[in-house]
Structures are given as C-alpha cells and as structure tokens.
Chains A and B, each alone.
Chain A
Amino acid sequence: MPFLGSWRRVYLAVILYLCGFIALLAFTWGF
C-alpha cells in the first residue's frame, strides 16, 4: 500500500418523513 435538488431539502424531507411515521405509530391509540 441528487433528489430534490440539494441535500438540505433531502434532510428536511427525511425529518418530515420521521414525523409522519411517528404520527402513524400514534394512530397505539386509534383502536
């Protein structure tokens, strides 16, 4: 001996996705 144009928007999309996933898990109380 890049989707959505820039990384910042990608990171924001992942955070929003996480919030949505937590909301789905909360729907724990829906039944």
Chain B
Amino acid sequence: MRTLDWIVLVVSLVFVIGYGLWRSRRTRTTDDYLLANREMPWYAMALSIMATQASAITFISTTGQAYADGMRFLQMYLGLPLAMILISATAVPIFHRARVYTAYEYLEQRFDAKTRTLVSIVFLIQRGLGAGVALYAPAIVLTVIFGWPDYITTAIMGVLVVVYTTLGGIRAVTWTDFQQMLIMLAGLLAALASAIWMLPADVTFLDAVRTAGIAGRLNALVTTFDVRDQYNLFSGLIGGLFLALAYFGCDQSQVQRYLTGRSVTHSRLSLLFNAVAKLPMQFLILFTGAMVFVFYIYVQPPMIFHPGEMAKVEQRADAPQLQQRYDRAWQARRDAAGRDEAAFTTAQAEIDTVRKASGATNDTNFIFLTFVTTYLPAGVVGLIMAAIFAAAMSTISAEVNSLATVTVIDVYKRHFRGNATDHHYLWASRLFTAMWGTYAVFAAGFGRSLGSLVEAVNMVGSFFYGSLLGAFILAFYAPRVGAHAAFLAILAGEAAVVTVHLTWKVAFLWYNVIGAVAVVAAGLLLSVVLPRNPSASQAT
C-alpha cells in the first residue's frame, strides 16, 4: 500500500459513510429508522440487495477459484433469477399488503404468535452466530498479505458499521450500500482492465480468452448429476433456486431491503434488477480470475500463493527439485501458449501436479490479492482495498440492522413492551443496533481462536434455511394449513434435514430443498388431523 492507495481507501470510506449519514439526517420515527418510511426508490434497493449478498470473501476467494479451477462456482446462482420472479410475484405484494416490519411478523397474521416466535428465534440464532464471519474472514487474508493485525482490521470496519447503522438506521445502510456497490464494481473493473492491459503486446484480448478457454478456466457448466457435488447444472438450478428463495424471500437481512420500497412496483424492480445483473456480476468476478491466470502464463507466479505455506515448503528437503520441476513446467506452458494446445495442456497438468505435491491445495484466497499487491499501479490497489472493505461492511451492516429489527419488533415489542411510544421504540432500535454491532465486532475478534467452530456454526445455519422457506410456502400457498400444523411441520422439516445430514452425504444446497419439501409435506398431512381454525388468523 503506497500513499496514493491509502488516500483512495480513506477518502472512499469517509465519503461513503458521510453520504449515508447525510441521507439519513432527518430520521425521527421508528417507521423511518427501520423502513425508511417505505419511500426508497428501486435503484437504491437494487444495489443494496446486491451489496448485501456480495461479501468480501466472495470478492477475494471467487477470483482465486476461477484461477485454480474455472467457473463452476457460477452454477450456484443459476436458480437466482427464477427465485426473484417467484418472490416478485408472491412475497412482495403479500408483505406490502400486510404492512409488516419483518417477514416473521406476517407469520403471526397468517398462523399464530408461537410460529412467529419460533421462526424469529431461528433467524436470530442463525444470523447472530454468523455475525462476525463477514468481518473476520477478510481480516485473515489481509493479515497474511499486508501483515495488518486482524483485530485492527475487524475493529476499524466494525466500529464504522456500528456508527452509521446506529445513527442512520436503514436509510443510512441502504445509501451506503448503494455507494459501496459502485466502489466494488469500480474495483473489479479496474482489476480486470489491469490484468488485460498488462498482457504482452502480442497477446490480444481474444487470444487471452481462447487461452483461458483451452486451459479450462472458462468451464462453467457440469452436466453430470451428482447429489454430493454442489457445482453442477442441476444442483444450481434446483438447489440454487431453493437457496435464493430462502435467502431473498425469508431472511430478514434481505427482506428488509425491499420492504422499504415506495410501492410494489419499486420493490419488484429492485429484485428483477438482481435477477438480470447478479449472474453477469459473478461472471465478471470469475472472468477476472481467469484473466489473472492468463497473466501468470507470461509472468511466473509463486509456486504457492500463501506466503506462510510457501516458506514452509522452502524448508523441505525436496524443495529445490519441486521448484525446478515447477520452473520447467511454467516455461514449457509459456512456450506452448497460443501455439501448441497439446503441449500447453500437458505443461498445465504438470504445474497442477507440482502445486499439489507442494501442498498448495488451499491458497485460492490469496491468489487475487497477491496479483493486486504485486503488479497493480498505485491508486488501483487502494481502490481494490476500498472495494473489499465495502463488501465486508455492506454485508455486516445489513446483518446488524436486521438483527436489531427482529429483536425490537418480534421479541421486545411483541413479548415485553407492547404499548410504548414511538420515541421509545426508536431508541430501543438504536440500542439493539449498537448492541448487535458491538457483539459482531467481538465475535470477529474471537474468530481466530474459534476458527473451526465458526465454520461448524455456519454449517448448522444452513440447516435452518429449508424449514424457514417451507413455513412461508405453507403461509402463502396452503390456506387450509393452520397454526398448529405449521408449527409442528417446521420442527419436522428441521428433523428431516438433521437426519439427512447424519445419514447421507448430500451437498449443502440440497438441504434447502429437503427442508422445504419436508415442511410442506408434513404441513399438508398434519392439516388433515389439525384443521385450521378460521377465527385464529386473517391473512392468506
């Protein structure tokens, strides 16, 4: 990081947060603090939805995945456009008509208080346990690349998020997300343009694309069905559809974005913008990784991109032989590039073999940032760092904001203090936002000592999504299913997912399908013996 990089990073952080706070300077009511008075335009919500989903680790790690393995990761998003259509057609008008602050509030209108409370608590546990990850994950990578202590990085990002989410509420979150998404896009385009611009003069853009294609770095589709592999066309279209339905339709951290819309039309447009823009955005990230791969055909990369792991390999007795094999294979690949496809493929296979023998199986998180910090010009590095900070902060701000909203609306107001003044709930919202934000910073601080536990918690979190989706499918589409049947069905769906996890090796994308189908099936069966009480609820 040079002086110009620091200037770009600091100015972008100050501008984005200042703009968000300025846009939210007149926040005076709970309605305004939690839902921006329902007057947000579609383009602000659209970029906020996109920024919330794009975390820093997506930015850092996805580029490395394309470098190492091609674009198969993109298949996870193929179900997303279909999910956006279904949510636009059903959830958006229903939530708008119900005038709710949270998705779970609707479940009480449709079922009863215990179903709403169960789902709210599931959300608070799931999101609460994972709250620090969005801060902690990029901090680890920045520590390795720059030597910045991870507690400093998490504290800076975390404190800034706490300040603007607590002061400005969702209006500040949405407008900072809007700016942060633009910074992410600018950083990404700068990295891609730099990678292409730095190719040798006799290698055209089309040559680079062709070379990446021959090397398999543009491979995006796998048409072999395997229930254990989450990166194939079928798991992407079906599992990805259910994951996107649960994430955008039932997770308050996303639902709250489009509940702020000034009309059904604006909320729909914000989702359909993502239906169209999300795939090209992910493609752009992966394509950048593929172009970095082509760049390293002409400039020799390190054998392992993780500096600490590389230092360990250099201590091994066979290190000189490994390095010689690697140097020879890289030279052979360079000589064959664009001339001899068979020799190129053979040399690439040798490079992959040597990297595997040296233990470079887990350095994808470090490929992109090694390229950025080694070769990109001053200013561009700062812009890409600003993009990584923006990605982390936009994700964590939505989590903190939605956790506080559910705590106030679905727990505090519903069960503890139901008839206080609006001013009281506004300050309760601010207090819970500050509390959840502070908790997230501390959770991120403990991330290093809780490493594998954090991963386990995230995995358990993925168990809940299918059941959550099943509950909303019953609420929207099964009018004869009553409150008791729905409550028991959610528990049955959860039990089904846990049973599958313990007895059958299935890619996690399928958990969402299994959970949702189990809840719907159990709900329909139980409705025969536990019919709906017509006077218990009104919404359909």
Say which residue of A11, A22, A30 sits within 8 Å of B78 (CB atoms). Answer: A22
Do A31 and B213 touch across chains, with their CB atoms under 8 A apart?
yes
Which chain B positions have C-beta within 8 A of A28? 218-221
C-alpha gap A25/B219 in the complex (Å): 8
Do A15 and B81 touch across chains, with their CB atoms under 8 A apart?
yes
Closest to B233 in A: A22
Do B279 and A21 touch across chains, with their CB atoms under 8 A apart?
yes
C-alpha gap A28/B215 in the complex (Å): 11
Do A10 and B272 touch across chains, with their CB atoms under 8 A apart?
yes
A21 smallest CB distance to B (angstroms): 5
A28 smallest CB distance to B (angstroms): 5
Do A25 and B74 touch across chains, with their CB atoms under 8 A apart?
yes
A19 smallest CB distance to B (angstroms): 10
A30 smallest CB distance to B (angstroms): 7
Q: Is A5 an interface residue (CB 8 A)?
A: no
Do A1 and B210 touch across chains, with their CB atoms under 8 A apart?
no
**DSSP class of B's interface residues: helix, strand, loop or mixed?**
helix
Which residues between 242 and 291 of chain B lie within 8 Å of chain A, taking CB atoms?
265, 268, 272, 275-276, 279
B residues contacting the other copy or chain, number (CB 8 A): 28
Q: How many contacting A-B pairs (Cβ < 8 A)? A: 46
Residue from the set A1, A10, A14 with the largest chain B CB neighbour count within 10 Å: A1
Closest to A26 in B: B221
With A2-B265, A14-B84, A30-B213 known as contacts, the answer to whether A25 contacts B272 (CB < 8 A) is no
Which chain A positions have C-beta within 8 A of B78? 18, 22
Q: Is B89 an interface residue (CB 8 A)?
A: yes
With A7-B89, A30-B213 known as contacts, the answer to whether A22 contacts B221 (CB < 8 A) is yes
Do B276 and A31 touch across chains, with their CB atoms under 8 A apart?
no
Do A1 and B275 touch across chains, with their CB atoms under 8 A apart?
no
A16 smallest CB distance to B (angstroms): 10
Which chain B positions have C-beta within 8 A of A21? 279
A residues contacting the other copy or chain, number (CB 8 A): 16
B176 smallest CB distance to A (angstroms): 25
With A7-B268, A25-B74, A26-B221 known as contacts, the answer to whether A17 contacts B276 (CB < 8 A) is yes
Q: Is B425 an interface residue (CB 8 A)?
A: yes
Q: Is B405 an interface residue (CB 8 A)?
A: no
Q: Is B63 an interface residue (CB 8 A)?
A: no
Do A11 and B218 touch across chains, with their CB atoms under 8 A apart?
no
Which chain A positions have C-beta within 8 A of B214? 31
Say which residue of B210, B272, B413 sits within 8 Å of A14 (CB atoms). Answer: B272
Do A15 and B82 touch across chains, with their CB atoms under 8 A apart?
yes
Which chain A positions have C-beta within 8 A of B422? 1
Which chain A positions have C-beta within 8 A of B82? 15, 18
Residue from the set A2, A17, A25 with the largest chain B CB neighbour count within 10 Å: A25
C-alpha gap A30/B213 in the complex (Å): 8
With A11-B89, A17-B81 known as contacts, the answer to whether A1 contacts B272 (CB < 8 A) is no
Q: Is B30 an interface residue (CB 8 A)?
A: yes
C-alpha gap A25/B88 in the complex (Å): 26
Which chain B positions have C-beta within 8 A of A26? 221
Say which residue of A1, A14, A22, A25 sits within 8 Å of B85 (CB atoms). Answer: A14
Which chain A positions have C-beta within 8 A of B268? 7
C-alpha gap A15/B294 in the complex (Å): 33
Which chain B positions have C-beta within 8 A of A14? 81, 84-85, 272, 275-276
With A1-B31, A18-B78, A25-B221 known as contacts, the answer to whether A11 contacts B85 (CB < 8 A) is yes
**Interface pairs (21), CB distance under 8 Å:** A1-B31, A1-B413, A1-B425, A2-B265, A10-B272, A14-B81, A14-B85, A14-B272, A14-B276, A15-B81, A17-B276, A18-B78, A18-B279, A21-B279, A22-B221, A25-B71, A25-B74, A25-B221, A26-B221, A28-B219, A31-B213
Q: A residues engaging B (CB < 8 A)?
A: 1-2, 7, 10-11, 14-15, 17-18, 21-22, 25-26, 28, 30-31
Given A11-B88, A15-B82, A18-B279, 11 more pairs with CB closer than 8 A: A1-B422, A7-B89, A14-B85, A22-B78, A22-B233, A25-B74, A25-B221, A28-B218, A28-B220, A30-B213, A31-B210
